[in-house]
Every structure is written in structure tokens, then in C-alpha cells.
Structure 1
Amino acid sequence: MSDPLSQRPTRIRVDLGAIGHNLDAIRAHTGRPVMGIVKANAYGHGLVPVARHLEARGVEQLGVAFVEEGIALRRAGIRVPILVMGGIFGRQAPEFIAHELEITVSSIDKLRQVEAAAEQLGRPATVHLKIDTGMERIGVHSYSAAPFIEAALASRWCRIKGIYSHLACADDPGHPMTARQLERFLEACAHFERLGAPMPLRHLANSGGVLHFPETWLDLVRPGIALYGVLPDPASRPALPLRPALALHSRVVYFKVVRAGASVSYGASWHAATDTRVVTIPIGYGDGWPRALSSRGEVLVRGIRRPIVGRICMDQFMVDLGPQGTAYNEDEVVLIGTQGGESIRVEAVAKAAGTIPYEILTGLNERIPREYTGGEPAMAG
């Protein structure tokens, strides 16, 4: 008997070739080594398949948010260096070291915890020092970096591979915050020179930095959403020939005629102005398709944009074909992607939902099967 998930009409299709194309475009644009960010299930594209493809394309480093993601990659056989960028708990430190994961050290206290774990295991830890230049998230403030760097250099069990910070406003090419953050970061890095110590790998540029701020590229760039062919913000400039890697498709599961004046879905918030044809699509907010798209989003049916009507349900939503529109059960419906001569980009979906593309992509959960093309070997999930 076949896997029931393989029969679900709702599917995510990931073009690994597009991700490889974007990696090449970013390399050509920046001339820098790349840390491919694959946290949050590779922005909804699939952690292990994407990481395998990036490794096969020679990416220099991978970045994840949590130690669990790093361990999952190691267990899948990924050998490329992996930096865990999130804050850590002291009791997790041995797991980082055991799985050869690079650790973000964000304070002297965290440094001591990592150092103690490494000494106990008899294995040095590879660390990246996190400097806070304006996010106020994790990391030592740039103006307090000197004693932090001195402590790290004095550590017998911590090998400093990198030093980094995170840009808060680089998605907007006109925002002055990026210049201030770069200045603060470089001032913190200068402590290595003052102490006569070798400069570690400096990395600062996220997708916005890659697109808009060449001065932030430094020694390595860390593209996230741009790697998947998506612009991080409406203010972003399409400075590179990026190709979207993810498409979301489903199929018509039901067709009906709704009489004029009848309401559709929960809350009776939408009423048909005239007799109209409505189809039901088997995906909902339980899959991560935002309820905020209720009576606001669009899909493609037979190459024509059609509006979502009524409230999106947990597992289904309805689409108005109009009085003369035609569709049959099992016709393909495109939520993100291209059909005929029309396309719906994830940026447009995010705008309609009042959110950002990151939230749309990472919200698409594991209920939706994923299919992969353009990679070696072909994979499905």
C-alpha cells in the first residue's frame, strides 16, 4: 500500500536547481564565501534536502538556529561546517562539541560554560563571538567587547573561528542603521589588532546586506531568504537574478453553485452578490496557510487569478470562480508559483496577509508533502 501522504493533492515543490542558481549568483555578486542559512526547515523548503544540495554545490558553511537542527544535519551525513546561531544553555554545550557544531558564544558566562564542557570532554570547541551592534537580542554590546574578546583569546579550550553581528535594517537600502552597525562592529573587531591577535572570520551581511550594502560583506556572507529566491522586504531592490525555489500547489476537491445572498464559511462574513461558482481547496491554516488571507488572498485556477472567499478553515478554503468561471474536480490550483502566464509570488501572499515572506515560508508545516527537483539524487518528503 502506498504512503497516504504521497496521495495528498496539496504539495510543496522545491526546485533545488533554483537554490543552486541563487547560491552561484550570490557568490558572483559578492566574491565572498557563503554561509547558507538553513534554519527553520530551510525557510520551509526542507532542512536536510536543501543542506545536502548546498553541500554538493560546495557551500563553505551552513547556519542553523538551534542545536537540534545541527544534530539533525550531522545525523543525515552532512559534514560541512555548521554554525548554530541561537543562544545556548550551558547543559547543551557537550552536544555541540560531540557533533562538531560551531557555537555562538554571546557572553563571558557562555564562554566559561563552553570552555568547561570542552575541557571535560578533552576536545576543543569551535566558537564564533557574537557582538550586539543594535539588535538588542543576544551578544555582548560592541562598546563592552574588549574584555569579552580578551577572555576568549585567553581560553585554552575555545578556538575562535569567527566574530559576527546581525543587521537590523539592511532589508531597507535607505536605512541609516546599517552604517552605524557596521561602524560599531568594526570597532569591536579592532580589539584583535590592538591585542596583536589574528583576526577571525568576520561576518555581518544577511540577505539585505548581500543585496544592498557591499561594505558589510567582509570575510563571509550569510544569505537566508535570498538564497531561496525571495526578497526580504518590499523596500529591497532585486539586485541579483534570483529564482524562487518554492511553489505551493493543490487541487479542486469540490465544486458547487452558491446562490445570490448565500454566505460562505465560518462567521458568514462573505456573501455572494449573485449566483456564482465556488470551489473548495483542501489546505488551510492547519497547514500554515494564513487565516489572514480570508477574503483577501488569490489563487490561480486554469491560469486565471481567483479570489479566496470567506474565512479560511483549518483544512480547507473556498475560491470564487465567478458566474461563468469553470473548473473541475482535481484541477490544479496554484497558491504560490506559476500557472499559464500568471504568477503569484510569496512576497504578494505576505503583503495580502499583512506579514512578511519569512513568516509565510516558515509557517508551511510538515503536513504538506514536499517534492524536490533539480538535485542529485532526486528526493521526496
Structure 2
Amino acid sequence: MTGPAHRAEIVVDVAAIRHNVRVLKDLVSADGPVALMVVVKADGYGHGMVESAAAAREAGADWLGVATLEEALALRAAGDHGPLLCWLSAPGDDFAAAVAAGVEVTAYTVAELDEVAAVGGAHGEDGARVQLKVDTGLSRGGSPRAQWRDLFAAAAAHERAGRIRVTGVWSHLAASDEPAHPANDAQEAAFREALALAADAGLDPDVTHLANSAAALLRPSSHFDLVRCGIATYGLDPAPGVSPRVGLRPAMTVRARLLMSKPIAAGDGVSYGHTWVADRDTTVGVVPVGYGEGIPRAASNSASVWVEDSRRPVRGRVCMDQLVVDLHGELPPPGTEVLVLGPGDRGEPTAQDWAEAADTISYEIVTRLGGRMVRRHVDSDADPDTEGTAP
């Protein structure tokens, strides 16, 4: 590790994000003009929202997507002025600042639409820029099917009055990482039905969108005018074992310094509860990251890290501040670099490896990482020596 002597750090290569955006943009537009939205919610899935957004824009992202109004306004405050969609609000949220900043907000219900319209009437001839989300089968956010006609009629009335402009209609897939799942066909059919009803109500949105990262790679029929790519932007596979290899590059590396190494004898238990007991004399190392940094405790006795050119299994339970790894009889000195996860170029564990060890998905692994770790951004295009896991 170069630079400040951090106990542990997250290193994000913005060049990898730019590369992934270019790959995805070329992929989805291969058969026609399809715009790309890069989703940077949840602090850019743990990669840094502002930095990830800037890299995405540099690589040609047409849109950015976030969950909350606060995230949208933070991007505007950081200097982003391009098309930006926000989709999660609660009753009573103040839409005024977002509308004034040109953020496109999402309405699920007539009541929510009315709240936005009340603000939109004070912001110029076009009013608030609104997208309508319909629930086509995820049974989460979005207008339920029985209310589509009412939502579209209310939106058309507000649009005629100049309080809003409906710029999009969209939905979200439940099983796009399983191409044969019947929900995919059903949801796409339902979405087409919703678009027909919107047109019947007199709406003519700029964009319609359904596809997420997995559908961007696996279901061209769902691309419509725009696709929303989140996890794929950061180089992680949205459908492990199913997605085609398109050349995505993981952007995140997590590194630490070994605190100590020491011998233990056969029969010695390791960490809380002695859930692992050495079956031979060996050596162990202490790594200063734990669930306080977002390392999943569920990966205890299952995950591994990379120390001195080989994988070292986690032994015993992951603790709040540290974890213990088997060094197989070796005694590397304190300060030795530990790769907790990375792109896998050296053989180090990846976010997907950690996900499998914890019985979860790579989205959760990278998004939850942080805590006391320092995060810094590098650009391997500007400095090739920083490429991969050696920034």
C-alpha cells in the first residue's frame, strides 16, 4: 500500500467506471438509439456518488438516477446539471428544491402527483418534470394496475394546466437475472399495456424504461427508450453465471494492513465462540476490518482474503473491528498488504466471492462497505501504475 498509512481503505478506479459506461452504452444502443441511465444511489453503491456520477457523465451517460431527493440535490450542488431522475419520496417531502433544480421526480399515486403539481405550478410554463412509475409485477413501488387509468388521467389534467410535464413512464423488473422466469414476459406485456393506456390518456413521454443491468445484458426487448444500469456500471455481474462476458471491470478494491501474525497450536480455538478450532499447528493473522466496516459477519469461516500471493481463509467469526485469517504456517510482518477484495486480477477474492460466502449478492457487499475505512479515488487512465489492485 502506498500513500497514507491507513489501517484499511477502499480504492475506487474511476477509469473502470468510465470503461463500463462506454461498454454498456455501446451494448444497449447496438440495435438502435437507446439512452443509458447510470444509477448512483446509495453513495454510488459504495463507490462514491459524486465521483461515480462525474465519471459516468465523462463516459457519455445520458441520465443519472438516484433514490432520494437529498441525493438528487447533492448531485446538483456538486455541479451536475444533466438529466437526473429521483424515484423515492415520502408523504410530505418538499419537492420544491428538486423541481427548481430541474430534477425529474417520480409519482406513484394521484396524491403524490398532486403534491408535485402544487409545487410545479410555480416553476415556469412547463411546471415540474415528472415521471410516472407503474407496478407491473414487482409489487413494490409504483402505481398498482387498478389505478393506472386514474394516475394517467390526473397527470394529463395537470399537464394541460401547465403544472407538470410528464417526461417518462417506467417500471422495474423482478427477475431479470433469471431469463427464463415467467415474470419477465408478464411484466414486459404489462408495461406495454401501461404505455398504451398512457397514450390513450393523451400523454407523450420523452422516455419509457423498464430494463435494469441484468435486462440490459440479457433482454433486448425490454430496452425501450432507455435502460437503467446500476451494479454493472461498477463492473459487477448482475446475473452471475448467466450474463455474457462483455468486458466489465470491477472498480473497487478494499485493502488493509496486517496488524500481527502469530503461531497457534492444534486444538486452539479462534475468535468468538471458537467456531473454528485449528486441526494442526498453524499461524494466523489479524486484519483490522470487521462488521463495523461493513464486512459481513455471515461470511465467517467462509470468505478469504489475499496475503502474499495466495488466498487466506477467514477463521472464526468476523468481529466488529477485525477478522482472523489462516496464514498456513507463514509469519508475514505487521504492515503486510491484505487485499480483502478486488477485481480478481491477482487471484484475490472479488465482491462476488464475498457475496457467495455470505449468501447474499455483490450489490450488498460493495454498498455496505465503509465505516472507518478511508475511501479514495484513483484514475488508472491518467496513471497506469494505479490500475487494478495496485493504486
TM-score by shorter chain over 0.5: yes
1:269-348 equivalence runs, <5 A: 269-323=275-329, 325-337=330-342, 341-348=346-353
Do the aligned residues in 2 keep the contact of 1:53 with 1:375 (CA within 8 Å)? no
Q: How does 1:4-83 map to 2 (within 5 A)?
A: 6-31=4-29, 32-83=34-85
| Contact 1:38 1:224 (C-alpha < 8 Å) held by counterparts | yes
| Corresponding residue of 1:355 | 360
Shift of residue 197 of structure 1? Answer: 4.2
Cα separation, 1, equivalents of 2:119 and 2:345: 57
Q: Which AA in structure 1 matches 2:27? A: H
**Cα 1:337–1:197, aligned 2, differ >3 Å: closer, same or farther?**
closer
Residue 85 of structure 1 aligns to a residue in which SS?
strand
1:305, CA displacement in angstroms? Answer: 1.1
Query: Identity over the aligned pairs, expressed in percent?
Result: 38
Single out whichever of 202-211 and 260-269 deviates more from structure 2: 260-269
Whether 1:136 aligns to 2:136 is: no
**Could you say what the CA RMSD is over the residues aligned between the two structures, in angstroms?**
2.0
Aligned partner of 1:148 in structure 2 is 151
8 Å contact kept, 1:293–1:353: yes
| 1:82–1:102 contact (8 Å) kept in structure 2 | yes
CA distance in 2: counterparts of 1:314 and 1:134, whole angstroms? 39
Q: Aligned partner of 1:256: which letter?
A: K
Contact kept in structure 2, 1:6 and 1:369, CA below 8 Å: no
- Structure 1 distance, partners of 2:244, 2:308, is 29
Q: What is the DSSP-based 3-state SS (H/G/I as helix, E as strand, rest coil) of the residue aligned with 2:244?
A: coil
Contact 2:251/2:343 (8 A) holds in 1: no
Q: Shift in Å at residue 354 of structure 1?
A: 0.9
CA distance in 1, matches of 2:42, 2:382: 23
Q: Does 1:104 align with 2:102?
A: no
What does the per-residue CA deviation read over 1:95-145, in whole Å, with 9 as the maximum and x for residues that have no partner? 321332110111111111111122256672111100000111121123531
Q: Distance in 2 between matches of 1:35 and 1:339?
A: 27
Q: Is the 8 A contact 2:213 2:232 kept in 1?
A: yes
Q: Residue 260 of structure 1 contacts residue 274 of structure 1 at CA under 8 Å; is this kept in 2? A: yes
The letter for the 2-side match of 1:362 is T
Deviations 1:232-288 (A, max 9, x none): 233532342211111111111111111221111111222122221111001110000
In structure 1, how many angstroms separate the alpha carbons of the residues matched to 2:47 and 2:345?
24
Could you say which residue in structure 2 is the equivalent of 1:244? 250
TM-score scaled by length of structure 1: 0.93
Q: Tell me what 2:167 maps to.
A: 161
Runs of 4+ in 1 over 6 A off after TM superposition: 375-378
Measure how far apart 1:80 and its partner are.
1.5
Render the CA deviation track for 1:281-317: whole Å, top value 9, x for unaligned: 0111000011111111111111111111111111111
Contact 1:231/1:238 (8 A) holds in 2: no
Give the partner amino acid of 2:45: Y
Native 8 Å contact 1:90 1:110 kept in 2: no
1:118 is aligned, of 120, 126, 139, to 120
Q: 1:57: how far off?
A: 2.3
**Residue type of the alignment partner of 1:214:** P
Distance in 1 between the 2:4 and 2:257 partners? 14
Q: Could you tell which deviates more after superposition, 336-345 or 241-250?
A: 336-345
Amino acid at match of 1:112: D
> How far is 1:192 from its partner?
3.6
Q: 1:340 to 1:138 in 2, by over 3 A?
A: closer
In structure 2, the CA distance between the partners of 1:189 and 1:339, relative to structure 1 (3 Å rule), is closer
Q: Provide closer, same or farther for how the CA distance between residues 341 and 110 of structure 1 changes in structure 2, counting only shifts above 3 A.
A: closer
Q: 1:340 to 1:193 in 2, by over 3 A?
A: closer
CA distance in 1, matches of 2:209, 2:344: 39
Q: CA deviation at 1:375?
A: 7.4
Alpha-carbon offset, residue 195 of structure 1: 4.1
AA in 2 matched with 1:141: P
Q: SS at the partner of 2:266?
A: coil
Match of 2:273 among 229, 242, 267: 267
Closer, same or farther: CA 377–126 of 1 in aligned 2, 3 Å: farther
CA shift at 1:89, angstroms? Answer: 2.6
Q: How far has the Cα of 1:377 moved from its partner?
A: 8.8
1:201–1:138 Cα change, 3 Å: same
Letter in 2 for 1:22: N
Matches of 1:338 and 1:328, distance apart in 2: 25
Q: Give 1:193's aligned residue.
A: 199
Offset, 1:374: 2.0
Partner of 2:176: 170
Q: Deviation at 1:25?
A: 0.9
Deviation, 1:6, is 4.5
TM-score calculated relative to the size of structure 2: 0.90
Structure 2 CA distance, aligned partners of 1:346 and 1:194?
A: 46
Relative to structure 2, which stretch is displaced further, 337-346 or 28-37? 337-346
The number of aligned residues is: 373
